[in-house]
């Protein structure tokens, strides 16, 4: 049996990324013991219990990234901690408390128990950004490296796969709207990455291969898929694989900002958009074409240590998108 890996996260990240990472670790050539830790880990644990043996799936351990003592208790005996700390919506204070200080707390606890750390951030993390999500992602990265210098930071672009929160949402929107909207022409670039490929990288890092450790520790891995798309092209793919025709219509950014101002004050629903999300659509979300020496190639790491290439949305979306779009 391999090492003990603690996956620490919540909500969407825990459900889609955490579950896929757990499966990859449990089914590797040297299966690892996996523990799910979050404020409410039972739901993810129950889902994994159907596909991972009791020997490989340890009992869940409740932990709160804002409470360091709970992390130390949950991480005891861990060889590797996978930190999926993050929120998609909230106040600026929420982003700071979870994505910055929470990430720092996880890194410190991992360091204190002697565990390696893989910390998930996001492409677009920027300490100078006016968008709380992007700014606190960058602050979280800096805090992680300060506390745990040998940590590995993974920055994904849009993550896709069964259960993702992006493509099925727009497929569902296409059921109730006469068109799919894009803002500012939908020209921003994205590089969607398959959740299974992200899980493969974590499994590779968990192997305790000295060559891999020397390559990735203290480094940043920007995770993008094999293809780059405009936002408009992604909406076209949604319609194609949902089996539905709708025009894709461009709306002014100003209109999106006005919509966000209203919608972000209401309870979250299918139509929720925030001003910050509209602002993010003004920037590309792709792997840096001129990375620094601190960066490691996601594509090269996956393809050097696993038998298959990165997966495309054209291969994966047809396996789940039509089914997701019919559930509303």
CA dist 245 and 242 (Å) reads: 9
How confident is the model at residue 15, as a pLDDT?
A: 66
Assessment of whether the complete model's pTM goes beyond 0.85: yes
How confident is the model at residue 159, as a pLDDT?
A: 95
Tens of pLDDT, residues 108-130: 999 999 999 999 999 999 999 99
Q: Tell me how many helices (H) and strands (E) the chain has.
A: 16, 14
Q: How far is CA 81 from CA 21, 111, 191, 207, 215, in A?
A: 12, 10, 26, 13, 18
Q: How far is CA 72 from CA 8, 63, 193, in A?
A: 12, 9, 32
Give percent helix, percent strand, percent coil of the chain, each to the nearest 5.
45, 15, 40
- The domain limits of the chain are 4-156
Q: For residue 327, name the pLDDT band (cuts at 50, 70, 90).
A: very low
Picking from 83, 21, 85, 84, the residue whose alpha carbon sits closest to that of residue 56 is 21
Tens of pLDDT, residues 18-74: 889 999 998 888 889 999 999 989 888 998 998 898 889 999 999 999 999 999 999
Give, as one character, the DSSP assignment of residue 21: H
For 4-156, give the CATH class.
alpha beta
CA dist 125 and 114 (Å) reads: 27
Tens of pLDDT, residues 148-184: 999 999 999 999 999 898 999 999 999 999 999 999 9
């Amino acid at each position: 049996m391999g090492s003990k890996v603690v996956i620490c996260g919540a909500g969407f990240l825990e459900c889609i990324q955490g579950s896929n990472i757990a499966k990859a670790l449990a089914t590797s050539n040297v299966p690892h013991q996996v523990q799910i830790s979050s404020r409410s880990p039972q739901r993810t644990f129950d889902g994994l219990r159907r596909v991972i043996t009791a020997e490989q799936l340890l009992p869940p351990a409740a932990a709160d990234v804002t409470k360091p003592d709970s992390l130390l208790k949950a991480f005891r005996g861990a060889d590797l901690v996978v930190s999926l700390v993050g929120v998609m919506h909230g106040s600026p204070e929420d982003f700071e408390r979870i994505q910055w200080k929470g990430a720092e707390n996880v890194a410190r606890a991992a360091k204190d128990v002697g565990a390696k750390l893989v910390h998930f951030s996001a492409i677009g993390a920027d300490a100078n950004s006016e968008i709380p999500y992007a700014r606190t992602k960058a602050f979280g990265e800096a805090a992680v490296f300060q506390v745990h210098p040998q940590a590995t930071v993974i920055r994904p672009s849009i993550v896709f796969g069964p259960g993702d929160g992006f493509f099925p949402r727009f497929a569902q929107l296409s059921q109730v709207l006469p068109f799919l909207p894009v803002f500012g022409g939908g020209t921003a670039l994205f590089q969607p990455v398959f959740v299974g490929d992200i899980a493969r990288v974590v499994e590779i890092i968990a192997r305790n291969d000295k060559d891999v450790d020397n390559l990735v520790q203290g480094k940043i891995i920007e995770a993008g898929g094999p293809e780059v798309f405009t936002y408009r092209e992604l909406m076209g793919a949604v319609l194609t694989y949902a089996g539905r025709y709708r025009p894709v219509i461009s709306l002014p950014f100003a209109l999106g900002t006005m919509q966000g101002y209203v919608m972000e004050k209401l309870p979250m629903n299918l139509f929720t958009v925030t001003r910050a999300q509209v602002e993010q659509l003004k920037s590309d979300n792709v792997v840096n074409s001129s990375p620094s020496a601190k960066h490691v190639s996601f594509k090269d790491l996956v393809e050097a240590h696993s038998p298959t290439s990165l997966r495309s949305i054209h291969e994966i979306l047809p396996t789940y998108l039509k089914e997701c779009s019919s559930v509303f």
